[in-house]
Amino acid sequence: MPEGPSAADTAKVTALLERGRALSTPVLRAAVGRLASPMDTVAAYHFGWIDAHGDPADGDGGKAVRPALALLSAEAAGAAAETALPGAAAVELVHNFSLLHDDLMDGDEQRRHRDTVWKVHGPAQAILVGDALFALAGEILLELGTPEAGRATRRLTAASRKLIDGQAQDISYEHRERVTVEECLEMEGNKTAALLACATSIGAVLGGADEDTADALEDYGFHLGLAFQAVDDLLGIWGDPAATGKKAWSDLRQRKKSLPVSAALAAPGDAARRLAELMTADAKKSQAEFEDFDEAEFAARAALIEEAGGRAWTEQEARRQHAGALRALDRVAMPGHVREQFTALADFVVVRQR
């Protein structure tokens, strides 16, 4: 893989994400403002608009890649970017509903360098506000009252169900020693790619695109999501801690059954066999014992994954999904500058360093 994204791609992607955040944030704030107290405050904390004391904050509400995709998707269908705004906000609400619930289920105490909602406001508020954001998503779409809004909500609901299926699979895989490549890809398709796919079609649907166009855009988004996740899985093991902000070997520390691990275990040969033996022994250790491991232990596991071909396979998989995304894009007639941005985003995703 190249050494990182080109300056031109980085500039395009940065501008795209900036626009997504700038246009969607007021819609999100208005939606959250509908919530009964104290859910409005808890949601504002989650989005980084206020701190734990209720004072205004300029927190990091995430990359806002989904709203950016939704706006571009409307333009792909020849509509104004603003046509997508209720869809952009709805997809972002569903994404944040899943973050609130997943952080609680997974016991994660930090998100975007801040304490998670369940940690600050308690589990009940994390459940409630997640539920409320999920309901708000349908509400702001359906109150448009158009057939397009009905179609958009149907796609969003289907994607939400996949998201929930993906989290269920992720949780059930934690209790297993091995996960096949196919199972891992299915889980990642549900948990990551489905909602990105929905974001990439929802603007077009609201802009009046036909189902074939919406399906092709969704295909682009689905491949983009799988490429993104493959790279995420690579960075989770071999990412530079200075760039990712995570500890070295982060996914190995969490014993995550990610693509490189599954691919390595599925390979023939001695490295795969030794890796499997280590992991069988690891599975008997508590998380605390495991975290006491020397750096060299994680480095040894990473080396075996690489030797067995798990790293190369995942890099190829990212490139396959990148190619799939571009092929899907070819099925849709769209203005040249819109296609350029979709392409820049796909390129950026596979060569990013964090």
* Beta carbon nearer to its own copies, 17 or 196: 196
Which residues, numbered 25-84, are part of the site for its own copies (CB under 8 A)?
A: 34-39
Of 226, 228, 223, 233, residue with least CA distance to 260: 233
Residue numbers 197-216 binding its own copies by CB under 8 A? none
**Shortest CB 143 distance to its own copies, Å:** 7
Residue closer to its own copies (CB basis): 119 or 352: 119
Q: Is 8 exposed, middle or buried (0-12, 13-18, 19+ CB in 10 A)?
A: exposed
Q: Which is nearer to its own copies, 54 or 335 (CB)?
A: 54
Which whole-number Å values give the CA distances from 63 to 14, 170, 184, in the listed order?
Answer: 10, 23, 24
When the beta carbons of 128 and 204 are compared against its own copies, the nearer one is 128
Query: 134 vs 222, which CB is nearer to its own copies?
Result: 134
DSSP string computed for 109-154: -EETTEE-HHHHH-HHHHHHHHHHHHHHHHHHHHTT-SHHHHHHHH
Q: Spell out, one character per residue from 92 to 121, where the chain touches its own copies: x when CB under 8 A holds, - when not.
A: -----x---x--xx----------------
In the bound complex, what is the minimum distance in angstroms from residue 166's beta carbon to its own copies?
Answer: 8
# residues contacting its own copies (CB under 8 A) = 41
Which of 125, 314 has the CB closer to its own copies? 125
- Residue 287 within binding range of its own copies, rule CB under 8 A: no
Is the CB of 174 or the CB of 277 nearer to its own copies? 174
Among 132, 202, 204, 230, binds its own copies (CB under 8 A): 132
Contact at 8 Å (CB) between 65 and 16?
A: no
Q: Which of 123, 241, 245, 335 binds its own copies (CB under 8 A)?
A: 123
Q: In sequence order, which ranges of the chain are alpha helices (DSSP H)? A: 7-32, 39-46, 65-76, 85-106, 117-121, 123-142, 147-174, 181-188, 194-206, 211-238, 241-244, 250-253, 259-266, 270-283, 287-291, 295-307, 310-330, 336-351
CB atoms within 10 A of CB 145: 9
**Contact pick of 71, 85, 136, 184 for its own copies (by CB under 8 A):** 136
CB 197 within 8 A of CB 284: no
The alpha carbon of residue 271 and the mean position of all alpha carbons in its chain are separated, in whole angstroms, by 31
Q: Which of 329, 84, 351 is nearest to 231 (CA)?
A: 351
Query: Sign (positive/negative) of CA torsion 146, 147, 150, 155?
Result: negative
- Contacting range for its own copies; rule: CB under 8 A; set: 1-9, 133-141, 230-238, 290-298: 133-141
Handedness of CA 139, 142, 143, 148 (dihedral sign): positive
Report the nearest approach of its own copies to the CB of residue 211 (Å).
Answer: 11
The sign of the dihedral angle between the CA atoms of 291, 306, 190, 328 is positive
Q: Which is nearer to its own copies, 38 or 208 (CB)?
A: 38
String marking each residue 139-178 x if it binds its own copies according to CB under 8 A: x--xx-x-x-xx--xx--xx-xx--xx-xxx-xx------
Which 295-354 residues touch its own copies, going by CB under 8 A?
Answer: none
Q: Report the interface residues with its own copies, using CB under 8 A.
A: 34-39, 97, 101, 104-105, 123-124, 127-128, 130-132, 134-136, 138-139, 142-143, 145, 147, 149-150, 153-154, 157-158, 160-161, 164-165, 167-169, 171-172
